[in-house]
Amino acid sequence: MEGLEAELREAEAAWERLVIPRQTVAEVLAEPAAGEEAPSTGATGERPAQVAGAAPGSVVPVWREGLAPDSLAPDYRRLVEVLAASGEKMDCRRLAAALGLEPVPAKVEGVRSKAKRLAALGWLAEEQPGMFSVLAGRGVGS
């Protein structure tokens, strides 16, 4: 009987460790994206709040007319800003160095992953494999 109680306590402790993260994930997924209105709190006459910008780790939006780089998560925004400021094509090694990262394979691969995602979603151009540049109208101040 005592072994069964110990197993029950272990199972209950494991369950408790899963409940809080599950609630946190549900709350995060329910938050509005950048520029969208937050859901109403139910108070009458209260205006919904605007979400100011993207948070780290947020989804990269597909580029469309009028969408500014500040709608990107900070890492992606910095990448676009560095490319826009350079005004030229850059490979991922140079881009990593320009971002202040060590040009080691792990860092370069992280930059490549972000640059590829930005290119696939219309923020950057990749005219030659591994060479990225900002498309007209998509950089900072455009």
Residues 83-88 have a mean pLDDT of: 90
Measuring CA to CA, which residue among 44, 79, 45, 47 is closest to residue 60? 79
| DSSP helix/strand/coil, 131 | strand
Query: Which is more confidently placed, 59 or 74?
Result: 74
Q: How far apart are CA 107 and CA 63, in angstroms?
A: 25
**Side-chain-side CA neighbours of residue 124 (13 Å):** 35
pLDDT at residue 122 greater than cutoff 70: yes
How many percent of the chain have pLDDT more than 70?
65
Is the CB of residue 32 less than 8 Å from the CB of residue 51?
Answer: yes
Least confident span in 21-30, 68-77, 121-130: 21-30
Query: What letter would DSSP give residue 48?
Result: P
Please give the share of the chain, as a percent, with pLDDT higher than 90: 30
Distance separating alpha carbons of residues 41 and 49, to the nearest angstrom: 10
Q: What is the pLDDT of residue 49?
A: 40
Split at pLDDT 50, 70, 90, the class of 56 is low
> CA nearest 79: which of 103, 58, 105, 97?
97
In what order do the strands lie in the sheet containing 124-128? 90-91, 131-134, 124-128
Mean pLDDT of 30-38: 52
Instruction: Give the mean model confidence (pLDDT) for residues 29-56.
Output: 49
